[in-house]
């Protein structure tokens, strides 16, 4: 897969997402198989996903860095997946999830953007529609 195909796959995942109000995505190709993708996806209820991935498809670990930060319209954290190496005691170090707050840290398998979007779909479905503030 080329970096262009990888970028297009992520853009398609966002486009397929229900309840998207707006999205702003920046693609930064850094070589034939490497690049940075970052963006914001705002949902109809005012919640927001900030994300970024640094990818090198020629490496054995394709995603060199990632963060998927989902928050309510009032900026309260719902979850954030990232691989910042600041919890070395976790079984799946450096992969972890902040759930409901910065202090609630869980060890997780490395997710991808599609997994984060699927979790948002589940959350939006279980909470029902909420008006924008």
Please tell me which residue, 74 or 92, carries the higher pLDDT value: 92
| CA 19 from centre of chain | 16
Mean pLDDT within 109-126:
92
pTM confidence score: 0.90
What pLDDT does 75 receive?
82
pLDDT, mean over the chain:
91
Mean pLDDT within 79-94:
95
Extract the runs of DSSP E, i.e. beta strands, from 32-99. 34-43, 48-56, 63-71, 77-82, 96-99
What pLDDT does 126 receive?
64
What pLDDT does 133 receive?
43
What pLDDT does 127 receive?
57
Q: Give the dihedral sign, CA 86/81/40/101.
A: negative
Mean pLDDT within 10-16:
94
φ, ψ of residue 86 to 5 degrees: the values are: -115, 10
């Amino acid at each position: 897969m080329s970096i262009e195909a990888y970028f297009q796959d992520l853009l398609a995942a966002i486009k397929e997402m229900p309840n998207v109000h707006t999205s702003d995505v920046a693609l930064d190709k850094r070589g034939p198989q490497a690049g940075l993708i970052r963006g914001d996806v705002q949902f109809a209820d005012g919640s927001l996903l900030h994300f970024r991935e640094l990818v090198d498809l020629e490496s054995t670990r394709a995603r060199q860095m990632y963060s998927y930060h989902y928050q309510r319209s009032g900026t309260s954290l719902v979850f954030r997946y990232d691989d910042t190496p600041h919890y070395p005691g976790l079984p799946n170090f450096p992969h972890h999830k902040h759930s409901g707050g910065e202090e609630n840290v869980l060890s997780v398998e490395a997710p991808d953007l599609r997994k984060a979007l699927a979790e948002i779909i589940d959350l939006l479905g279980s909470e029902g529609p909420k008006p924008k503030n």
